[in-house]
Amino acid sequence: MHATLQKAVTRMLAPLVRVLLRHGVSHAEFASWAKQTYVEEARANFGIDGKSPTVSRLAIVTGINRKEVKRILDLPADVEPVVAKHNRAMRVVTGWLQDAEFNSAAGEPLVLTYGDANSGFNQLVKRYGGDVPARAVLDELTRVGTVIEKDNEISLAAKGYVPHESEEAMLELFATSARDLLTTLDHNVSGEGPTRLQLSVHYDDVGAEAVEAFRKLSSKKALALLQELDGELSQHDRTRNPEAQGTGRYRTGLGVYLIEEAIEDENADDK
């Protein structure tokens, strides 16, 4: 069992290690981060009878000595201010794409003016950005390359929150997307509760021309699907729609990603 798990984890870690090496993170530093995550996850998920595990139990479960477990537990909590900032930015962009007031008759996001508190971009932020000033949201969206500002007119650079000008924001999206996917996979492997949606389509002998065509087709189809689902799900989000009812508080949604990988094939030229 461990051999199979080792192979699976090694394959899963490969793209993460590429990111770490690209940013100059050593094995020792990554090992330190992994150790902290071991303790945090064990504390959150491996108690007995709903009780928070003791330092001794955490040491047993993780294989980390008690002194080191205690040191990790005493570390200051991560308040994740960057996450909150990006979440607000995403809500504003999503509202821009979905709210008919900020769309043309053809359903395209309008170019919005900045300055009037009761209209344009300021009204968009007021409706979807909470109590954050419109200028602060505009500065953040401009910084990460999601919007273009010219003569007090604001336009979207892409149909979504794509912070391609900010490595920090892209890494946050990387972490969120990878965590969401792995959480679903972990749930399905554990066999606890109903299986969550986990579907993909891929072939491994496709030519470059077809890859390019599929990239365009999948992007178009996926965007249409996600916009439809966003319109439906947003009606049930109580932050956006205070009239929505429901008990508890859950984060739910659907992620879509493109699979594309070059395969070494000595016989490829013969086909």
Residue 139 inside a domain? The answer is: yes
Number of alpha carbons in the 13 Å side-chain half-sphere of residue 77 = 2
Mean pLDDT per block of 10 residues along the chain (271 residues) reads: 89 93 90 94 91 94 95 77 66 88 90 90 90 89 89 88 76 89 94 94 95 95 90 88 91 94 69 49
Same-domain check for residues 59 and 9: yes
Last residue of a domain, one of 44, 78, 112: 78
Judgement on whether residues 106 and 151 belong to the same structural domain of the protein: yes
Same domain, 9 and 24: yes
| Residue at 263 is within a domain | no
pLDDT for residue 2: 84
Give pLDDT, residue 75.
Answer: 86
Structural domain includes residue 195: no
| 262 within some domain | no
This prediction's pTM: 0.70
Domain membership flag for residue 114: yes
For residue 106, CA distances in Å to 100, 110, 182, 211, 242 come to 10, 10, 37, 30, 28
Q: In this structure, is residue 264 part of a structural domain?
A: no
- On whether residue 228 sits in a domain, the answer given is yes
- β-partners of residue 112 are 154
Q: Count structural domains, the chain.
A: 3
Distances (CA, A) of 139 to 96, 114, 143, 149: 16, 12, 6, 10
Q: Which two tokens stand for residue 20?
A: 């770490």
Domain of residue 15 covers 2-78
Answer yes or no: is 249 within a domain. no
* Domain final residue pick, 78, 107, 125: 78
The pLDDT score that the predictor gives to residue 43 is: 94
Residue 73 sits in the same domain as residue 87? no
